[in-house]
Copies of this chain bind each other. A is one copy, B any other.
Amino acid sequence: MLGILGGMGPMATVDFMGKIVRNTPASCDQDHIQMVVCSATDVPDRTAAILGHGADPFPAMLNALRRLELSGATRIAIPCNTAHHWYGALQAETSVPIIHIVDAVTEALAQRRTSPTLGVLATDGTVHAGIYQQRLAERGYACVVPAATAQAEVMRAIRLVKAGLNEEAAGILGREAEALAARGCSHIAMACTEIPLALAALDSDVGAALLDPTDLLAQACVRSFLAAPQEMVREVA
Contact = CB atoms under 8 A, between A and B. Distances in A.
Interface of A: 7-11, 13-14, 17-18, 21, 28-45, 63, 67, 70-72, 233-234, 236-237
Contacts of A13: 17
Copy total for this chain:
2
B30 A42 contact: yes
Contacts of A63: 234, 236
Nearest to A20: B10
A41 B29 contact: yes
Nearest to A35: B39
Given A63-B236, A67-B72, A70-B71, A41 B37 contact: no
A71 B8 CA distance: 18
A234 B67 CA distance: 11
Residue from A9, A29, A45 whose CB has the most chain B CB atoms within 10 Å: A29
7 contacts: A8-B29, A14-B21, A29-B43, A34-B41, A34-B42, A35-B41, A70-B70
